Amino acid sequence: MPRSSATRPLRRMADPATADGGARSAAGSGSAARGPSITPVRMGVVDVPEVADLEREIFPDAWSVDSFLAEVERRNEIGLPLVVRERGALIAYAILWFIVDEVHLGNIAVRPDRQGTGIGKAFLRWILAEGRRRGMSLCTLEVRPSNVAARALYESFGFRQIAVRRRYYHDNREDALVLALALDPSAESRLG
Ligand SMILES: CC(C)(COP(=O)(O)OP(=O)(O)OC[C@H]1O[C@@H](n2cnc3c(N)ncnc32)[C@H](O)[C@@H]1OP(=O)(O)O)[C@@H](O)C(=O)NCCC(=O)NCCS
């Protein structure tokens, strides 16, 4: 994931997110593969302190409160910050950016005590469906080579490595792998 968002464009508002979670990716096919039912909604200002607390718990190079506030202020065409709650408790969040025909997954995390229970997979399936619904051709993201769980998740959806950003992460100077998935068959050729 990119480790700062301060320079990116803006929005706000707590409209429920709209995609239905249907997916055409390998990991998303078939109802048996669906796992837990989740309902992502747009992150609002009120969510930010809790999201930032969870972010600090999870990431060594956590985004700041201000970075999340900037995401909440983005216009809907440019970015979509999301939270997933279960009986009011925050269990996951994600940040999406829409860049021409590309949806970039800027951040995604599941609460540690709920990791490994299918929430990440359901959330990513929902995100890819939202990208398709908006007419996006590609989904891209960065991931640490050492992040075995995240890489396995992305690979299960068919993401492929398209580049390496050397010494990308500030905390340990680890490289970032840039992964991409074609959301529409005509974009396959762009992945090399
Ligand atoms: C990465 C993350 C979002 C995945 O969400 P999750 O809810 O834990 O994942 P799921 O339970 O939906 O599992 C989905 C797939 O991920 C992979 N996976 C999950 N946990 C794994 C682990 N500990 N080891 C290896 N693979 C793992 C598997 O491929 C799994 O599919 P399977 O169950 O069919 O084998 C979550 O673990 C997380 O928040 N990690 C910390 C933050 C982070 O690294 N974010 C991504 C930054 S790029």
Q: How far apart are CA 126 and CA 121, in angstroms?
A: 9
Pocket of ligand 1 (CB under 6 A): 1, 58, 108-110, 115-121, 143, 147-150, 152-153, 156
Selected catalytic residue, list 71, 154, 169, 174: 154
pTM of the complete model? 0.89
Q: Calculate how far, in angstroms, residue 54's C-alpha sits from the geometric centre of ligand 1.
A: 16
Q: How far apart are CA 124 and CA 120, in angstroms?
A: 6
pLDDT score, position 40: 98
For the stretch 23-53, pLDDT in tens is: 334 444 334 456 899 999 999 999 999 999 9
Residue 11: which of 96, 93, 83 has the closest Cα? 96
| E strand intervals along 87-137 | 89-99, 102-110
Secondary-structure class of domain 26-137 per CATH: alpha beta
Q: What is the 3-state secondary structure (H, E, C) of 130-162?
A: HHHHCCCCEEEEEECCCCHHHHHHHHHCCCEEE
Nearest CA, atom 6, ligand 1 = 120
Selected catalytic residue, list 55, 71, 130, 142: 142
pLDDT score, position 51: 98
For the stretch 70-119, pLDDT in tens is: 999 999 999 999 999 999 999 999 999 999 999 999 999 999 999 999 99
Cβ distance 157 to 179 under 8 Å? no
Q: What are the residue boundaries of the structural domains of the chain, listed by start? A: 26-137
